[in-house]
Amino acid sequence: MKAHYKKHILEFKTPSGTSRGILKTKEAWFIIIEDINSVGIGECGLLRGLSIDDRPDFEQKLQWVCANIGLGLKQLYDALTEFPSIQMGVETAFRSLASDDPFQIYPSEFSRGETGIAINGLIWMGDKAFMRAQIANKLKNGFSCIKMKIGALQFETELSLLKSIRQEFSASQIEIRVDANGAFTPHMALEKLKYLSDLDLHSIEQPIAVNQWDQMAFLCEKSPLDIALDEELIGVFSTQKKEQLLKHINPQYIILKPSFIGGFKGSDSWIEISQENDVGWWITSALESNVGLNAISQYTFTKNSTLHQGLGTGGLYTNNISSPLQITKGALLYNPSKRWDFNL
């Protein structure tokens, strides 16, 4: 058995705005394992500026993994606690290696093309006209749930955008989620949450910045709008710390990005603890290429969630890996008649 890694720079079709700035490119790192008659492919979904393993020795750790691939999945995974995106890449690559088809990571009705996964349509930050155009496009394409990133424009402007949607579509027609990416200040957050709650929104992700457990707990208790933790989960490795976080803050939901929280094993851990504490959850991709998105989507389907998932990022890039993944009427589908083109 031998392994190597490859880097690929993904280029956004349209520069995509977040509360942290404009994204134009995204790194994709792949681990490829080769055995006598098999190949395994896994993506390490590093996101600069947000992943806990965005550190100078990231590539060095990839080199170490490839040099020590013979240790096997368990030993490698356990040695990579501080590198959750590499944990996911290794997990995926070993599952891929063991499959007859390297892109059948979690075989199911989804990966056989028999059923889809309901997803939210993502609305990126930008000026009012740009955001309105995105919203119109998602509704035209059959989405019944949209997720709008907020925190970059004036709050009144974002509020008016949301009001305009609600005037046309009721909550039973369109579910709206918003993601503040920690943009609100603690002393203003509750007032803003009250304004947002008047619009029959589903939830808000990460209203204030991370590591403010007392303030976040206060908001989760007092807010008329359900709160979902997102970035708050990054860098929380131990089961004990996960339990402490959920019990202290007591959010309504948590959002799982496998590339940020230790892959599928890490996601399983969070799901188990959240269920014990009556906290809801859904799964979201973290701007991976179609290779990582495919693995996350196949894993997600096995969890039987009834909520819309955040898996609609495959069409963001001009040079993504061609794949059988496609979006139809607000659902992510795997079309077995289409082929993968992994020739990087």
Is residue 252 very low, low, confident or very high in pLDDT (cuts 50, 70, 90)? very high
Q: Is 274 helix (H, G, I), strand (E, B) or coil?
A: helix
Which 3 state secondary structure label does DSSP give 221?
helix
- Fold entry, domain 117-334: TIM Barrel (3.20.20)
Residue-wise pLDDT for 130-169, tens only, equals 888 888 888 888 999 999 988 878 899 999 989 988 888 8
State the catalytic residues: 149, 257
Distance CA 110, CA 299 (A): 10
User: Are 52 and 82 in contact, with CB atoms under 8 Å apart?
Assistant: yes
Token pair for 245: 């976080």
Interacting residues of 318 by C-beta distance below 8 A, sequence separation 6+ = 11, 12, 13
Predicted confidence (pLDDT) per residue in 36-91, tens digit: 999 999 999 999 988 999 999 999 999 999 999 999 999 999 999 999 999 999 99
pLDDT (mean) for 10-25: 78
Say yes or no to pLDDT of 344 above 60: no
pLDDT at 123: 85
Model confidence pLDDT, tens digit, residues 317-334: 999 999 999 999 999 999
**pLDDT tens digits for 101-126?**
999 999 999 999 999 999 999 887 77
Whether the Cβ atoms of residue 158 and residue 124 lie closer than 8 Å to each other: no
CA distance 146 to 144: 7
Structural domain boundaries in the chain? 2-97, 117-334
User: How sure is the predictor about 302, in pLDDT bands with cuts at 50, 70 and 90?
Assistant: very high
CATH of 2-97, one of 1.10.10.10, 3.40.640.10, 1.10.580.10, 3.30.390.10: 3.30.390.10
> Do the bridges between strand 227-229 and strand 203-205 make them parallel or antiparallel, or are there none, so unpaired?
parallel
Q: pLDDT at residue 175 above 60?
A: yes
Cα four-point dihedral sign 53, 309, 302, 297: negative
pLDDT > 70: percent of the chain:
98
Q: What is the distance in angstroms between the CA of the first residue and the CA of the last residue of the chain?
A: 20
What is the phi/psi pair of residue 86, to 5°?
Answer: -75, -35
Amino acid at 205: E
Residue 20: band (very low, low, confident or very high) from pLDDT cuts 50, 70, 90: low
What mean pLDDT is reported for the chain? 94
Q: What is the mean pLDDT of residues 202-229?
A: 98
Identity of residue 29 = W
Per DSSP, the residues of 55-87 read: STTHHHHHHHHHHTGGG-HHHHHHHTTT-HHHH
Hey, which residues does 184 pair with through a beta bridge? 208
